[in-house]
Structure 1
Amino acid sequence: MASLTLMEIAQLTRGKILSGNHGRIFSGFEFDSREIKNGDLFFALVAQRDGHDFLLDAYRRGAKGAIISRDVTPPHSDFGLVKVSNTLQALQDLAREIRKEKELKIVGITGSLGKTTTKEYTAALLSSQFSVLKSKKSFNNQIGLPYTLLHLEENHQIAVLEMGMNHRGEIRELTTIAPPDVAVITGINPVHTQFFADLEEIAAAKREILEGASPGATAVLAGDDRFCLRFAQNWSGPVILFGQSPECSVRISNLKLEGWGGYSFDLIYHREKIHLRLPVVYQSYVYNFAASAATASVFSLSLEKIQKTASTLKPLPNRGEVIDLGDGIHVINDVYNSSPPALEAALDNLSPLPARRKIAVLGDMLELGVEAKKKHFQIGQKLAHLGWDLLLTVGPLSYNFARGAFASGFHPHQVISVDKAKEAAEKIPSLIQPHDLILVKGSRRIKMEKIIERLKQDFQGGKN
C-alpha cells in the first residue's frame, strides 16, 4: 500500500490538519470501521450511514487517524484528524494522486453482466506473468474503485478494475480516477431498467468507459453484441472482439456441455487454437473467460499460460457455484443477484443437466421499474415451457413468476409462494428428494443466502 504522512494526505486531499503528528505515516486505509487494522487511516464517509458516528469504534480497533468533513472530538490527543469538505471526494482524490505516481496499466471492465467474473478471470490470467492488483469483491463504484487503488504496491504492474453503474455519468466519474489503458465491455443487457428508458440509454452509460479511456487505449468488446459492434466501428484505437461470431479474433467454438463436468470448447486465440474445459454450468462463464483471454492478449500472454491458468478457474461464490448435497442432489448457488437476462440464461443452461426433478427457488428481481411484474410473469412462463418441476417464489414481485407458470400449464401443487427468504429456508429441505437439481437465485436485498445456509446445515451439517 501507499505510505503517506498525515501532512502529505492533507495536501493531496486539500484538507486541514486539526490534530495529530504531521509526520505520522499511514499505509492502511479503510472506510468500514469493522475492517480497521492497527495504524490505519479511517475515512468517515457519509452515505446511508454517517461514518463520523463510527469514529470512536475505528479508534478502538486501532485507527490512528481519520478524514472527516464535520467537527468531531479527537478520541485521543495524538489521533490525526484531517478535515475536508467532502470525505468521498477526498478518498477519490487521494486514490487518483496515488495512481498517477505509479507506472501502471489500468484494465477497466464494465458491462451489464459478468463484470466480476471477467475481472477475476482476467486477474488470474495476467497474474501468471505480471504483478496484478484487482478490485476486491464487487467493489466497482465511487467508493470501491478508489479504495482498491489505495492498496497499490510498488511492484504492481497492472490494476484490473471493475466499473459499475446504475445511472449515467457514474462510469465517466470512475474513469477520471483510473482512465483505462484497456477498456472491456462484456455486453449490453436490460438491467437496472428502473433508471433507464431503454437499451440505448444503458449502452450510452456503458460507452463512458471508452470515452474516458487513456489515449491509444485498446477496446476489448463483445463481438456478438450489436451495441459493442457499433462501439468498435466508431473506436479510433485498437479493437479486439471476443465471442462466437467469425469476426472475433478471440473466439469460442465447439461449445459443449459435459453434464455436471462443465463446458468443453475450443478457444481460438488470434491465430492459435486450443481445447479447454471449465468446470462451470453457465455458458456465461465461458464468454467471460473469452473476454479475459482477449484482454490477456493485449499484454501478449502466451496461450500456454492461458491454458495452465484455465485449469484452475472455478465458478465464483454465490454466482452459479454447484453445491453437492449428496444423494445426487445438486444446488446451484446463484444468490448474489438476479436480473431477467441472467435468470433466463440460468434456466436455459440448467435445463439439459441430468436430474430427477428441477426445482427453481426464485426471489424478486429488483430495479426493473414499470416492467417488473411483466418480466417476472414472462420468466414464469419460460420456466414452465422448459419443463421445470417445482417453483418456490420469495417476495411480493416473485408471485408473478407463479402467475406466469400457471398461465403456461403449472398446477397449484407445483408452486409455493412465501414473503421472506427465511420462510423459504424453512420449507425447502422437506421438498428435496434424491437426484434433484435446485436453483436458488434472487436479488441481493432478498437475502436468498439464508436458503443456502439452511440447505448446507440440513444436508451437510453446515460444511461449505
Structure 2
Amino acid sequence: MTLWTAAEAAQATAGRSTCEWQANGVSIDTRSLQPGDLFVALKAARDGHTFVAQALEKGAAAALVSHIPEGLDDSAPLLIVDDVQAALEDMGRAARARTQARVVAVTGSVGKTSTKEMLRDVLSAQGRTHAAEASYNNHWGVPLTLARMPADTQFAVIEIGMNHPGEIAPLSRMAQPHVAMVTTVAAAHLEAFDNIDGIAHEKAAILEGLVPGGTAVLNADLDTTPILLAKARAVGAAIVTFGRNGDYVLSDVTLSDACTIVRAQAGGDNILFKIMSAGRHFAMNGLAVLAASVALGADRDLAAHDLARWQPPAGRGTRETLLLDSSDTDLTLDLIDDAFNANPTSMAAALEVLAAAAPRDGVGRISKGRRIAILGDMLELGEDEAEMHRALADLPFVHDLDLIHCVGPRMHAMWDALPEHKRGKWCDTAQELADRVTRVIDAGDVVLVKGSKGSKVSLVVDALRRAARPKGRKTKDS
C-alpha cells in the first residue's frame, strides 16, 4: 500500500521532488530499510546524506535530503527540502491530519514503552492499529512514527519521552491525541530538573496537545497527582484517574512466579484480568490501558481479555529459560532481562518481581535454587544519586533475595549497604562481571539483570545467553 507519493510529500514539506515516486514506508536507517521506503537523511550521530546512495542501492523509493549528496545528481529520486528534521515533522503533521484515527499519547517516568505495547496489543484486536516502534519517543521518533501512519489507521499509539524541560509539549501538539496518559512520575532524568515537581510539570505538558474534548488518563496515587490534575483542568480535558483511589480502582494484585492477577473496579463494575508476566507495575499499567481504551471508544471487556496476550518488550522484564548444559535439559536457569533502563521506582518493581519468583532446588551444583540480582548504575538522578542507590538496600524485597551483584561506581553505594551474606560481586564495569558471570550463577537460579542503558549491564545478559541456549520463554508470546 502506498504511504506517500512524491506529490503528497512535496506538498507536506514545501520541498521539490526530482521525479515521480511512491513510498510504502519511511526509514532513517539503511540497516533496517526495506525496498520501497523513503529514506530520511537526518543529521544525528552521523549525517544521513552520506548513506543516501546506499539507501537507493538497497531499493529506497526516494530520499529526503537538504542537498544533492556527493556522487548523485538530480536524476536520482530525491525530495529536496531546506531542513530534513523540519520536513520530517511536517510529514508527521500531514499524516496526522489526513487520518481519522483515534490517537492516544503516552508518557511517564516508568512504563511508557510497556504501556504503549499493551495498548498496541489490545487495540489491534479492535481495529487497524499503528504504534511507535521500540522507544521512538523523541524529537525524531514521534514525527517518524506519525509519518509512517497509514491513512486508514483506526487507532494510533504514540509514545512521548523527554530528557530535559520543554520537550514533551511540542511533540504532543504534533500528535494531537484524543487521549493523553501519564503512567507515573518518578525520579528519572532528575539531573535536568530542580525536583520531582519539575518532572511532573513536564509530564503534564503532554496534555497541551489534546484535541478539544480530549481525555487525560492520570495516575491518582502520586504525590504529584495534584500537578497533573491542575494541568488537565487548565486545558479543559475530561479526566479519568487510575490507581488505588482512582476512577479505575486497583483492588488487589496477586503476583505468582510468571503472571499477575489483577482485580479492579470501574463505574460499579468488577474487573478481572491477567497479565502473563509478573509485576505489580504491570498491573497499574494494565489498568491505565483499560481506562485509555474506553476513552478511545474501544470495548473494555475485550481489552481486559486481550491483556493476557501481552508480554514485556525485550530488555524490559522479559523472562526466558536458559539451558546450561545441552546434555541435561533439567539444568536450566530463568533470566529476567530488564537491562534497558532503571530508576529507583523501576528498580523496586523489578526486585519485587524477583522476590516473587520461584527458583528450583536440587538441580545445580549448589542444590538450592537462588534469587540473584545483577544491578547496574541508575543514571541521570542528580545530586542525590548516591543516597538513591544506597536506599535500594533497604527495600523489603531484598530480604527475599539470596545474592546481589553490583555493577558501576554508583551502585557501589548499594553494595556497601547490603548485609554481608547478600553481598555478591561488585565490578566497576559491566564487562568485568560479564566475563565472570558463569561463575556466579547455577542451574535452578532465577537471575534478574537490571540497570540504566548507559551502564551497559546488557553485556551481562549477552554473556549469559552466549553461555547457554534459550530453552523457551516462560511467558506466552504476544
User: TM-score, normalised to structure 2's length?
Assistant: 0.88
Q: Which residue of structure 2 lines up, in the alignment, with residue 422 of structure 1?
A: 431
Q: In the alignment, which residue of structure 1 is the partner of 2:455?
A: 446
Structure 1 residue 422 displacement after superposition: 2.8
Which residue in 1 is equivalent to 2:365?
Answer: none
1:410 counterpart = 2:425: no
Match of 1:232 in 2: 229
Matched residue pairs, number? Answer: 454
Does residue 122 (structure 1) correspond to residue 119 (structure 2)? The answer is yes
Q: Are 1:332 and 2:332 counterparts?
A: no
Q: Distance in 1 between matches of 2:169 and 2:33?
A: 30
Please identify, of 372-381 and 170-179, the stretch whose mean Cα deviation from structure 2 is larger.
372-381
Work out the CA distance in 1 between the residues paired with 2:398 and 2:172.
Answer: 43
Q: TM-score, with normalisation over the residues of structure 1?
A: 0.90
Q: What's 2:275 paired with?
A: 278
Instruction: Tell me, yes or no, if the aligned pair for 1:59 and 1:75 is still in contact at 8 Å.
Output: no
What whole-Å deviation, never above 9, does each CA across 1:82-103 have from its counterpart, x for those lacking one?
Answer: 3323211110011101211222
Q: Give runs of aligned pairs for residues 107-256 of structure 1, distance below 5 A.
A: 107-232=104-229, 235=233, 236-245=236-245, 248-256=246-254
- Per the alignment, do residues 437 and 462 of structure 1 end up closer, same or farther by CA in structure 2, a change over 3 Å counting? closer
Seen in structure 2, the aligned counterparts of structure 1 residues 98 and 310 have a Cα distance that, compared at 3 Å, is: closer
Identity of aligned residues (%): 30
* 1:48-81 superposed Cα distances (whole Å, 9 cap, x missing partner): 2211122222122122422222452353663123
Distance in structure 1 (CA, Å) of the matches to 2:167 and 2:287: 26
Q: Deviations over 1:9-30 (max 9, x none)?
A: 233212244xx31x32233221
* Most deviating of 231-240 and 188-197: 231-240
The answer to whether 1:398 aligns with 2:422 is no
Q: Give unmatched runs, 5+ long, in structure 2.
A: 323-329, 360-368, 474-478
- Higher mean alpha-carbon deviation, 299-308 vs 334-343, is at 299-308
Question: Is structure 2 residue 313 aligned with structure 1 residue 316?
Answer: yes
Report the AA paired with residue 321 of structure 2: D
Letter in 2 for 1:223: A
2:255 counterpart (254, 257, 275): 257
- Residue 79 (1) aligns with residue 80 (2): no
Counterpart of 2:404 in structure 1: which amino acid? Answer: L
With over 3 angstroms needed to count, the CA separation of the structure-2 counterparts of 1:346 and 1:237, relative to structure 1, is same
Shift of 1:195: 0.8
1:357 and 2:370 equivalent?
A: yes
Check the 8 A contact 1:376/1:404 in 2, yes or no.
no
Conserved 8 A contact 1:6-1:80: no
Structure-2 residue corresponding to 1:90: 87
8 Å contact kept, 2:95–2:151: no
Q: AA paired with 2:376?
A: G
1:303 Cα offset (Å): 4.0
My pick for the range that moved more, 353-362 or 383-392, is 383-392
> How far apart in 2 are the matches of 1:98 and 1:302?
26
Cα contact 2:119–2:293 (8 A) shared by 1: yes
For 2:238 and 2:299, locate their aligned partners in 1 and report how far apart those are by CA, in whole Å.
Answer: 19
Selected match of 2:351 from 347, 354, 360: 347
Which amino acid is 1:52 matched to? H
1:124-170 residue CA offsets vs partner (Å, 9 max, x unmatched)? 22222222111111111111111112222232112111111111221
Structure 1 residues 306, 29: closer, same or farther in 2, change over 3 A? closer
Per the TM alignment, residue 122 of structure 1 is displaced from its structure 2 partner at its CA by 1.5
Output the aligned Cα RMSD.
2.4
Instruction: Assess, with a 3 A threshold, how the Cα gap between structure 1 residues 420 and 74 changes in structure 2: closer, same or farther.
Output: same
Instruction: Give distance in 2, aligned partners of 1:397 and 1:276.
Output: 38
Partner Cα distance (2:332, 2:261) in 1: 22
Tell me, in whole angstroms, the C-alpha distance in 2 between the residues paired with 1:184 and 1:83. 36
Q: Does the C-alpha gap of structure 1 residues 104 and 14 become closer, same or farther in structure 2, counting only changes over 3 Å?
A: same
Judge conservation of contact 1:348–1:386 (CA < 8 Å) in 2: no
| SS class of match (1:129) | coil
Pairing 1:269–2:266 present: yes
Decide whether the 8 Å contact of 1:269 with 1:303 is kept in 2. no
Asked if the contact 2:333/2:443 (under 8 Å) is kept, the reply is yes
SS of 1:429's partner is helix
CA distance in 1, matches of 2:148, 2:397: 48
* Alpha-carbon shift at residue 379 of structure 1 (Å): 1.8
